[in-house]
Amino acid sequence: MDYSNSVHGVFRVIDCLTGRVMLCRDGRLVHQGRNNTAEGSARWTEEAGVAAVKAEAEQAGEHTGKSLPISGSGLVDLQVNGIGGVDFNSASITPLDVLKAAELLLSQGVTTFFPAVITNSEANMCNSLSVIDRACNTYPLVNSCVGGIHLEGPFISPEEGYRGAHPAGHIREADWGLFSRLRDASGNRIKIVAVSPEREKAVEFIRKCAGEGIIVTIAHSEAEMNDIKKATDAGAVMASHVGNGVPLMLRRHPNVLWDLLSCDSLYVSVIADGFHLPASFLRVVMAAKPGKVVLVSDATCFAGRPPGVYRTHIGGEVELDEAGRLSIAGGGGLLAGAAMTLEQNVGYMAGNGLADLAGAWRMASEAPGRLVWADDWQSRCAGDLVVFDYSGGNIRVLMVWKEGIPVWRCNKFTSPE
């Protein structure tokens, strides 16, 4: 389909979540007259809708004949460390870098993202936080795309295996004074904070955060069930990148993975890039947490870059292979972070039969939206729309609207800064 020839920007799409054929007009979906599906049904059912999406997806690579592009709500990524060479934790980060990252994420269908600032010295963390705040104040596009800042550290476990790549020397006990200084540096933009609830003063810290509308996520933690219950009672609502941020060897049971998955009130985020977690574990997570699984990219600055060997800003080299796997160069295949964007995580889930396309898309749009904004998520994300092709697990973004404004169209960024 040649979108430039669409009358007044109106064209037909298949709604990813319902299977209905809809009209896309100015970044919003409207009914085409009756509730028909791509199969021509006069009345839509879930089975017919899924069948319609699958039928159209098989032909989505060619916009000819009966094939139609697919549409979905803008993706919401709760944890992004960087993309395309931009590292939100680099000492040299600039507001222009943040704009570049926002544009790259939009081109991948991510209309709302939460830049992650990780454990470092207070000065370095304040620098990253203040630069993101300046970017939001300088560029309206960045301000509209940044849903808040995800503070991943320094209030996590210092223990080997649990702390992951976070530097032990900068990990701290939960400290409201330090958090307040970091929040001030961010321009009050911190929306998510990671905490290990087993640590001293953590529960009271969680309670204060929750009382001020900050989402608390359990991460890089060796918490036991009693710690998790205290944390959720105090207001913790999520567990981050479950299955990662733990040692290679855990006791059979109980352990932090089983305990987190058994806690009904918690949302859980997972990195479904095909490298961080096996399919079997993802199936268990979805079975244990229906409606509460959130896909996150946890992408590093190497996402969106061509395969090769790169030097990191903290020293050492990493290797990004053709498949998108990021590992420590010469490290025997040891992962060095994530290099897949959120729509690639969606594609992995759908392409490997872990979820249908609608279900996978919901885990990256509606689920994080509901976690952050509850019932207001639809109004908060109104006008955020992605039109894409899908085939065999591969998603190709064609057009993106942010707040009803077209910002990405056939590999061209269209919105002013």
What sign does the dihedral 91-339-295-286 (CA atoms) show?
negative
Question: Given this model, what pLDDT does residue 407 score?
Answer: 93
Question: Given this model, what pLDDT does residue 315 score?
Answer: 63
Question: Given this model, what pLDDT does residue 36 score?
Answer: 43
HEC-encoded secondary structure of the chain: CCHHHCHHHEEEEEECCCCEEEEEECCEEEECCCCCECCCCCCCCHHHHHHHHHHHHCCCCCCCCCCCCEEEECEEEEEECEECCEECCCCCCCHHHHHHHHHHHHHCCEEEEEEEEECCCHHHHHHHHHHHHHHHHHCHHHHHHECCEEEECCCCCCCCCCCCCCCHHHCCCCCHHHHHHHHHHCCCCEEEEEECCCCCCHHHHHHHHHHCCCEEEECCCCCCHHHHHHHHHHCCCEECCCCCCCCCCCCCCCCHHHHHHHCCCCEEEECCCCCCCCHHHHHHHHHHCCCCEEECCCECCCCCCCCEEEECCCCCEEEECCCCCEEECCCCCCECCECCCHHHHHHHHHHCCCCCHHHHHHHCCHHHHHHHHHHHHHHHCCCCEEEEEEECCEEEEEEEEECCEEEEECCCECCCC
Across 45-54, 68-77, 189-198, 269-278, least confident range: 45-54
Question: Given this model, what pLDDT does residue 164 score?
Answer: 85
Based on the domain organization, do 54 and 157 belong to the same domain?
Answer: no
Based on the domain organization, do 42 and 177 belong to the same domain?
Answer: no
Establish if 321 belongs to a structural domain. yes
Establish if 416 belongs to a structural domain. no
Based on the domain organization, do 334 and 384 belong to the same domain?
Answer: no
Question: Given this model, what pLDDT does residue 128 score?
Answer: 98
Establish if 417 belongs to a structural domain. no
Based on the domain organization, do 33 and 87 belong to the same domain?
Answer: no
Establish if 123 belongs to a structural domain. yes
Across 319-328, 371-380, 404-413, least confident range: 404-413
Based on the domain organization, do 169 and 82 belong to the same domain?
Answer: yes
Question: Given this model, what pLDDT does residue 18 score?
Answer: 82
Q: pLDDT of 260-292, one tens digit each?
A: 999 999 999 999 999 999 999 999 999 999 999
Establish if 100 belongs to a structural domain. yes
Based on the domain organization, do 165 and 133 belong to the same domain?
Answer: yes
Question: Given this model, what pLDDT does residue 72 score?
Answer: 94
Question: Given this model, what pLDDT does residue 67 score?
Answer: 67
**Between 313 and 305, residue with greater pLDDT:** 305
Q: Contact, 105 vs 80, CB < 8 A?
A: yes
Based on the domain organization, do 166 and 284 belong to the same domain?
Answer: yes
Confidence of residue 319 (pLDDT cuts 50, 70, 90): very high
Based on the domain organization, do 373 and 384 belong to the same domain?
Answer: no
Based on the domain organization, do 52 and 129 belong to the same domain?
Answer: no
In this predicted structure, the answer to whether residue 6 has a pLDDT above a threshold of 60 is no
**Between 88 and 52, residue with greater pLDDT:** 88
In this predicted structure, the answer to whether residue 172 has a pLDDT above a threshold of 90 is yes
Based on the domain organization, do 287 and 305 belong to the same domain?
Answer: yes
Question: Given this model, what pLDDT does residue 333 score?
Answer: 76
In this predicted structure, the answer to whether residue 27 has a pLDDT above a threshold of 60 is yes
Range of the domain at 387: 3-73+379-409
For residues 403 and 286, what is the distance between their CA atoms, to the nearest angstrom?
31
Query: Which CATH number goes with the domain that contains 190?
Result: 3.20.20.140
In this predicted structure, the answer to whether residue 37 has a pLDDT above a threshold of 50 is no
In this predicted structure, the answer to whether residue 66 has a pLDDT above a threshold of 60 is no
Question: Given this model, what pLDDT does residue 119 score?
Answer: 95
Confidence of residue 415 (pLDDT cuts 50, 70, 90): low
**Which backbone phi and psi does 270 adopt, to 5 degrees?**
-140, 150
Q: How many domains would you assign to the chain? A: 2
Based on the domain organization, do 272 and 331 belong to the same domain?
Answer: yes
In this predicted structure, the answer to whether residue 338 has a pLDDT above a threshold of 70 is yes
Based on the domain organization, do 17 and 127 belong to the same domain?
Answer: no
Question: Given this model, what pLDDT does residue 31 score?
Answer: 67
Question: Given this model, what pLDDT does residue 110 score?
Answer: 98
Confidence of residue 9 (pLDDT cuts 50, 70, 90): low
Establish if 414 belongs to a structural domain. no
Q: pLDDT of 67-126, one tens digit each?
A: 689 999 999 999 999 999 999 999 999 999 999 999 999 999 999 999 999 999 999 999
Question: Given this model, what pLDDT does residue 4 score?
Answer: 38
Residue type, 246: V
Mean pLDDT of 163-192: 96
What sign does the dihedral 29-304-98-214 (CA atoms) show?
positive
In this predicted structure, the answer to whether residue 46 has a pLDDT above a threshold of 50 is no
Establish if 17 belongs to a structural domain. yes
Structural Rg of the chain based on CA atoms:
21
